[in-house]
Amino acid sequence: MKNKLSTLGPRHQIAALPWRQSGASVEVLLITSRLSRHWLIPKGWPMKGKSPSAAAAREALEEAGIKGAISQEPVGRYQYDKISLDGAVIPCVVDVYPLLVKQELDEWQEAATRTRSWMPIETASMLAYEGGLSDLLAQLDHNILATGLPSRPKKAARR
């Protein structure tokens, strides 16, 4: 029997892809999920009153304790099935915004329930739990090294 949520079509989420330059290579930051301890990137639901990239930056602060410059344009998109606490399967499509990390906090909102780790993109691709994220990271490995993520992401327009 299909659950009601799975028949509605995929739900939209936003995510930050935290990154930094490490010598000649690029590293990304993965965090663990709170319950299963799988490796992933900070993500969540869109936030009312915030642009998608601003919401992704907020998720990165809450889940990974990091701040930085976030791109206004996603670097890619992936799909996965979110399993809710009651076991319902929620298909999700995630837009991923690169976040050039400028600051790592020692204490943050979800520090007690998550672990964070910097690693080469190749390693992150192998460790990422969600298949779509793993595929996206594997593709970025080639794209980042060839063209680089934006080193000066656009700032949000002031109103």
Tens-digit pLDDT profile for residues 98-110: 999 999 999 999 9
Residue 116 in any domain: the answer is: yes
Burial of 4 (0-12, 13-18, 19+ CB in 10 A): exposed
- Which CATH number goes with the domain that contains 102? 3.90.79.10
Domain boundaries, position 20: 13-79+95-147
Residue 62 in any domain: the answer is: yes
**Given phi > 0 = left and psi -120 to 50 = alpha, else beta, which region is 9?**
left
The pLDDT tens digits of the residues spanning 136-158 come to 998 885 455 344 444 444 444 44
From residue 28, alpha-carbon distances to 12, 47, 54, 123 in Å are: 23, 24, 19, 9
Residue 153 in any domain: the answer is: no
Residue 152 in any domain: the answer is: no
Residue 88 in any domain: the answer is: no
